[in-house]
Amino acid sequence: MTKHVTLEHIEAARRSHIKWLNRAISMTRGSSAIRDPHPLASTACQFGIWFNNEGKNLYEKLGIDGFSKIHLLHDRLHEEYLNIYEIYFGSAEGVVYNQKAVLTKNTISKAQEEEAQAHMAKLRKLSYLMLEELTELQEEVKKSALFDIEAVPRILP
């Protein structure tokens, strides 16, 4: 894979995470019905699928640290999201993912709302840290010569 394509894939993973984050934020805002709020495992969201396959291979190819840090941050993001989900919708146990689902939030107390906001603050911080690590990965790809070699066509004798 060329450097350009690799950087495009990293950016697509970043955008996927930001889209997911914005859905999480909308859950804590005034809207009473939320589209697609189901908590996915960190390995099942679009970012997780990319990260645990192509992202992992990228860290191995570059021979750099950072994979385990993003992995931990990403898992913790999903844990915080689940905490928020359960405040607004109840237990996620047995919930089947349905992309077209629209759920109505439960009526919650002021204390529960404050708890949800505290979890959201943690989620935002984790997201920020994860995106910083992803930026470092992008910088490593940009300065690596490994991808330039792959882009050069092989000349057959």
pLDDT level of residue 138 (50, 70, 90 thresholds): very high
Contact indicator for 36, 99 with CB cutoff of 8 Å: yes
Say if residue 152's pLDDT is above 60.
Answer: no
Query: Rounded to whole angstroms, what are the CA distances from 103 to 83, 91, 134?
Result: 16, 13, 32
Closest CA to 84 of 21, 151, 142, 154: 21
Give domain status of residue 22, yes or no: yes
What are the tens digits of pLDDT across the range 115-133?
Answer: 999 999 999 999 999 999 9
Torsion, Cα 13 17 22 25, to 10 degrees, reads -170
Does residue 148 lie within any of the structural domains?
Answer: no
Could you tell me if residue 26 is inside a domain? Answer: yes
Burial 116-151 (b: 16+ CB within 10 A, else e): beebbebbeebbebbbebbeebeebbeebeebeeee
| Whole-prediction pTM | 0.83
Domain tally, the chain = 1
pLDDT at 27 (0 to 100):
80
Q: What is the pLDDT of residue 99?
A: 63
Inside any domain, residue 147: no
- Residue of 22, 37, 15 lying closest to 131 (CA atoms): 15
Residue 112 forms part of a structural domain:
yes
Q: Taking residues 25-35, report their average pLDDT.
A: 72
The pLDDT of residue 113: 92
Q: Which domain holds residue 9?
A: 3-141
Q: Which helix (H) or strand (E) holds 143?
A: helix 110-143
Widest Cα–Cα separation across the chain: 75
